[in-house]
Amino acid sequence: MQIQPNFTIIIQIFNFLISFFILRRFFLKPAIDILLKKESDKKILEDKKYDLEVIIEAKNNSILNLWKEAKIKFFKYIQDCSFKIYFRKLKIKSIVENKVDNKELVSELNNLLVKKLENVG
């Protein structure tokens, strides 16, 4: 028994190969290109997200450092003010004890308050 090639099978194989290459060229390749582009876009977005997270972390650290510096300066200012108030009270007490003219004390305190208000404004 000898098998003879059937001409229709050869035509079907040839037709299948042509259909395969046409489908691959016009449908499969664009679909693969779209998937690859989506993957590359996703990678780019992930990289940008990471960069933004790094920037946000750096900004948060700088804000935290500024807050710590402001807190330290505030407490130094409060301490300085409390020392000034304490020494002013001592000065007032010594002036009262020494019975110095109260008008002079009032004018000195008035001048100090005016200077402080000028510095604030």
- Do the domain assignments include residue 113? yes
Instruction: Supply the range of the domain harboring residue 63.
Output: 7-120
| pLDDT (average), residues 15-36 | 92
| pLDDT (average), residues 22-44 | 93
Look at residue 119 and tell me whether its pLDDT is greater than 80: no
Helices (H), the chain: 7-23, 29-97, 102-120
- Do the domain assignments include residue 2? no
Largest CA distance in the chain: 143
Domain count within the chain:
1
87 vs 68: which has the higher pLDDT? 68
Q: How far apart are CA 31 and CA 34, in angstroms?
A: 5
The percentage of residues in the chain with a pLDDT greater than 90, rounded to a whole number, is 45
Contact 70, 60 (CB under 8 A): no
- Do the domain assignments include residue 1? no
Q: How far apart are CA 33 and CA 25, in angstroms?
A: 11
Report pTM. Answer: 0.47
Contact 95, 105 (CB under 8 A): yes
